[in-house]
Chain A
Amino acid sequence: MLQQLTNLSDKELISRARKLKDQEAEGVLLERYSHLMVAVCLPYLNTAPGRGADEVFPVLLQRLSNSLKTQTIHKVNEWIHYNVKAIQDKSDRNLPFFSTTESREIQQVENRIEHAAMNQKEQQQLLAQMNVVISQLPAEEKLFLTKFYLEQQPLAQLAGSKKYSIEKARQILKNAKQHMASILMKQSNEQ
């Protein structure tokens, strides 16, 4: 049963966990991201006084399990990241997870491109639209997008060429992507 569940996507596992109350599906989903949780929580475990892994991870997993049944989850990585941060930062503990508008816009564009993969005409229209949008972006963002996605330069190399840190280079790419998504969604809404 576990073998079959590991082949399912995040969406399917969430659906099973909610509709069928399938604990195994929930376990597979959490296990899929457990190593990332551990990695993200390590600084907190080392810095927080008197909070060991035996205490933090059960609380985190319980919180995720409760949240899974009640909240809308578009991207599991965002949802887990939000909850990990909420555990570490006690002020956000009781606020439920909601994906941001930017994240939703990116996700909508992703879905649109996925849908257009089956329809060549739609794909061509989308490509033309994206070319127009890229041309509208700031020069730095346009450069970074072109170098990273079209020329497939590694992130470290791209950051090194501009003498930026990897984090800053990532942030520029992230912003560029976000701008593109918002412009595309605006255009599609206007149509």
Chain B
Amino acid sequence: MENNDKILKIFSTVRCMNRDQLPRYLDGRLTDLEKHLLEQHLVDCDLCFDALQTLSQAKHREQYQPLSVNIQQYIRNSVRKVSTTQKVERYQRLEQKKESFLIYFWVVAAVALGAGGVYLVQHQNRFRAMNPVQQLAAADKVIEPIQTSQSQPVVQATERAAATAHAAPVADTLQRRQPVPGEVKPIPVVKKDTIKAASAPVAPKPAPQKDSVKKTPPAEQKDDKSTSPPAKKEEKSTLQPAKETPAPVAEKKETPPAPKKEKEKDDDDDKKTADVQPTGTDEFLYKAAMVYHQQGDLNEAISRYKHLSDSKSKYGELSRYQLAVCYRSKGQTGKARRMFKEVVRMNGPMKDKAQSALDSL
């Protein structure tokens, strides 16, 4: 069995002699086993056998050592040089790849952006073509307040009205709360209005007041009261600035305190009007007009109500009624009568009030 195993050694692979083994074999400084292994290799390897044959001569052996070291050094140096140049080349290749990748990226990005821009432009045109009505409506919403003579305060007033509309559920709490100096922004706007109100309608004001004091019987006072509920409601809904203005105070002075029963009736009416929840721009415009009305700027309020009077919603009727009240306050009874008649003809919820106001005129 041992012999059998050794037969396999005939074809066993043995490495070539290394730098150390070659001179040791020549000098006979190898173990028997090591020597036998090397000889097994020598049977096959012409290179090792030729090397041994050469080095067995003394003159060649002297040359061998320095040359062997030199060639080893030469190979190492050349490899080092090549490897550094190879690294530089690899680095350059990598850099080139990166650059080319970046170029591709930016080209693709630019193309994508261009395509996106074209797509958006095309779709924008389509949108414009598809819904011009909506856009017109939206434009009207914005443009309508600007068309008035005093654009800046109107916009602010509408904003304020919108704010009050949003704050409607918490109106009571707002009313009770003391205004913080920095919090209430509409104060300067109101001041402007108050200045206007003080400058423009100062002259005509006393006359209607006097007239109303002289001419108005108790029934008319009722009417005045009845007309005031929306205004009062607005007072509640709008913030403190309304209280600062003199006009509402004047109106309050104008209308003496009514009996409790009448107040209850008025409250019922208020509830009725409050039940109909105002929505949309008409509501904002109506509230803005009410603000002017409360501040005593009747001219501005009239122009606002006129805009709204064409509306087919309930605010059309309400604004006509308020318009009539404004005319009556200004002493223009003819116009006021005409407006009240129109309200009666509309046969809406304000018909009764308009009729009673008409009777009292």
Contacts and interface: CB of A to CB of B under 8 A. Distances in A.
Q: Interface range on chain A: under 10, 10 to 19, 20 to 34, or 35 or more? A: 35 or more
Interface in B1-54: 3-13, 16-19, 22, 32, 35-36, 39-40, 42-54
Interface residues of B, number: 52
Describe A's contact surface by its main secondary structure. Answer: helix
A81 interface: yes
Contacts of A49: none
Interface in A74-125: 76-78, 80-81, 84, 106, 109-110, 113-114, 123
A33 B35 CA distance: 19
Contact of B8 (A81, A127, A174): A127
B187 interface: no
Nearest to B74: A57
B10 A170 contact: no
Contacts of B70: 53
A181 interface: yes
Contacts of A113: 8, 11-12
A180 B70 CA distance: 42
A27 B68 contact: no
Contacts of B150: none
Given A38-B64, A127-B8, A23 B83 contact: yes
Contact of A170 (B11, B49, B60): B49
Interface string A38-58: 111011011000000100011
Contact of A30 (B6, B22, B45, B75): B75
Give the dominant DSSP class at B's interface: helix
Contacts of B54: 39-40, 42-43
9 nearest A-B pairs in the assembled complex, by CB-CB distance: A27-B79, A39-B51, A81-B47, A23-B82, A77-B47, A42-B60, A155-B39, A35-B68, A34-B71
Interface of A: 21, 23-24, 26-27, 30-40, 42-43, 45-46, 53, 57-58, 61, 76-78, 80-81, 84, 106, 109-110, 113-114, 123, 126-127, 130-131, 134, 145, 148-150, 152, 154-155, 167, 170, 173-174, 177, 180-181
